[in-house]
Structure 1
Amino acid sequence: MQKADTPGLKKVLKPVHLWAIAVGLVISGEYFGWNYGWAVSGTIGFLVATLLITVLYITFIFSFTELSAAIPHAGGPFAYAYRALGPVGGFVSGYATLIEFLFAPPAIAFALGSYVHFLYPAVPVLYTALASYVLFIGINLLGIKESATFSLVVTLLAVGELLLYMGLVAPHFEAANFLADPLPFELPGIFAALPFAIWFYLAIEGVAMVAEEVKDPKRNIPKGYIYGLGTLVLLAMGVMVLTGGVANWQRLSSIDYPLPEALGIVMGRDSNWTQLFASIGLFGLIASFHGCIIGYSRQLFALARSGYLPGFLAGVNARFRTPHRALVAGGMVGCLALLTGTTDQVIILSVLGAVVMYIISMISLFSLRKKEPYLERPFAAPFYPWFPAIALALSAVSLGAIVYYNPLLSIIFFSGLFLMLGVYLLLGKHRRKITGDALLEVK
């Protein structure tokens, strides 16, 4: 619990900022990472996987927005699960969300390094990735309004760039390329590709973590989510289909820079358009990297403020009103991940955290509808209970597929969860009710 005289977070964000954060958090998923799905399922198999995951996110976001608008808390999913399911549910949701947002940035940092290396082969990938953490943690320390304005600028540039990319490659699209060996691994391949399809949309739910910094959150959070999701669906489908039809997709299925590589194939690696795209392509990665830093810092801050993590992480800088300690601590974890993992592995860990959180969030929505029928809900999930039920079912299928095809990483993820949960229970922290936070108190 924070002391009364402790500086709080500033309420300055508007719908346009939320759109920028929502799209910015995710848009790097259109630049890289998803193409690993081709390696396990082919183009048609991955298209099927992506359509399934698109349905998951449409139903999930429309359901999740009910929670975000009703309980605008920096903890996001942790806060919803705590209120609906109690301290243990809150802990599990908080752990899963933290893993998602701590391990998404290293994957993006790897891609940033790869894009720079594509342009300047003498520059090592790892050096660029580590430098990215230092630079963008520094930007985030300056304040949420400044960070959100930066997100808006780079997100607009990134969206414009993807539209330019689609315009450049569309004349070179050939259906024969997209349909070449389209479903090499059939149904098992589709299930194996689900985590890479999730990467198209992963982290859009991070908007919930700036809820305490939004003006009129009960009206503006739904707007940010809905506009952001619509933008991302159009970009994801356009980029995936057009890229698969301009070149040999197998050649693009295992690299961190598929878009400039595809453009280099059809227009020449030394083409001015290829070089320009690779240069400004960094904006999409920067937007997501920057947004995920906002996400993990607010999650660390909220968990520490509520007693789930050491209290010093809940410190807020008196001048800039930003959670400076959480920003630095999460950055240290990300840098360690850079030194030990590879892009596809950290993507899987991040997706594991996300899917577990999605499941708990939908269970929390059903629970709160039953426990608190009179809770003010400025936005109600449409087609209830079907939308949250579909999101819950598809999330459970995705979790099963990820665990089946990635047993070692799943063991690491769940071992960490049970170890930390055991410590939490042994210390008796589950018996300490969070006080002084009206948003977490059942009415």
Structure 2
Amino acid sequence: MRTEVVVTGLGALTPLGGDVASTWAGLLAGQSGITALTSPEFADLPVRIGGRLPVDPAQALPRATARKLDRNQQMLLLAARQAWTDSGLAHLAGTGQAVPGERLAVSVSAGSGGLLSILETWETLKEKGARMVSPFTVARFIADGAASWIGLEIGAKAALETPIAACATGSEALRRGAELIRAGWADVVVAGGGDASVHPFLLASFAAMRALSHRNDEPARAARPFDKTRDGLVLSEGAAVMVLESAEHARQRGARVYAELAGAGVSADSYDFAQPDPTGEGQAAAMRRALTDARLAPDQVVHINAHAAGTPVGDRLESVAIRRTLGHHTSDAVVTAPKSMMGHLLGGAGAAEALATVLALHHRVVPPTINIDDFDDEIALDVTREPHELSGGVVGALTNSFGLGGHNSVLAFRSVGAT
């Protein structure tokens, strides 16, 4: 019998809020977290908009701790703390019912690692010399830094995983977390992703690829998935983390369950580094595999959280892939695009959008997609522009994450009942 994996804890820091409640409220309200970047270091850039956190993660940590961590590690550690507390596992410490470290794992990653610390250290080295380089530099920029800090805090000894797959990083971290539980290596996994990506270096680099929206005068309206006038993605920062748990372990301790992480599917386009396969077959293959793994039929999918970055080609091809996967049941699945509000969190996007999918199933309501003034008639999908209530009963949902380099990662969730 296959081990079921459920979600028992949630944590997030996004441009919409410093926790899950404020992020979810912002999504349901159709609130934009995209603002103008007015600091001097952004002044000469062709793109001067992005999604910044409304809270400073460094201020939420003791100074001695914050200085050891890169910004993405700070975000991920705080999101993990939220999820750990939300799961109820934090309250079991010292009661004899806590999860043994040998049955506890972490699968957390940032798509760009500690890039901000690398850039900061390079400037310090050039301007002040080697003696002024921080002894914490390696721990701040190393790719597995966030997983290691979280593992140290909760005492995880089963495994520390750091999947990196560009924009699909968060989704892949969740997939790997579920695999660890299914394989019997862990009972509980803290899993998710994040990125601190609002920096002149990254903005200039993505702008050079012609990947970003140039709506500098309309920040809140710049992220426009599925609109005819979409002109690129909007870079944002943020992190989202979930506590994944075997269903049996959750039942034994009486845990509140948000949803079941029922399956996952992956594929690779092997077509072009920046452009997706124009047939949409790679994305469709990942979706089909997620459905098969979850034992969900196309007619059981009532919601799709689309990758929908707002690029002219990407949004259209994703709609092709969805139609190839669901066929005549496509119109039965309500689609939403959280990037219209949060922007693109890069390594955090897959995790944050998976979190939104879980909450949609848990609360039985799908958040809207904003900034659609002129819907692209090539997008033959039911994209909701208002909060959309879901029907009762056990239903399924997919969340898509497609990354640079041809990574396709899809997660399938199943509801466990209405709240």
TM-score tier, shorter chain, comes to under 0.3
**Greater strand percent: which structure?**
2
**Greater helix percent: which structure?**
1
TM-score, normalised relative to structure 1:
0.25
TM-score, normalised relative to structure 2:
0.26
Q: Whose RCO is larger (CA < 8 A, sep 6+)?
A: 1
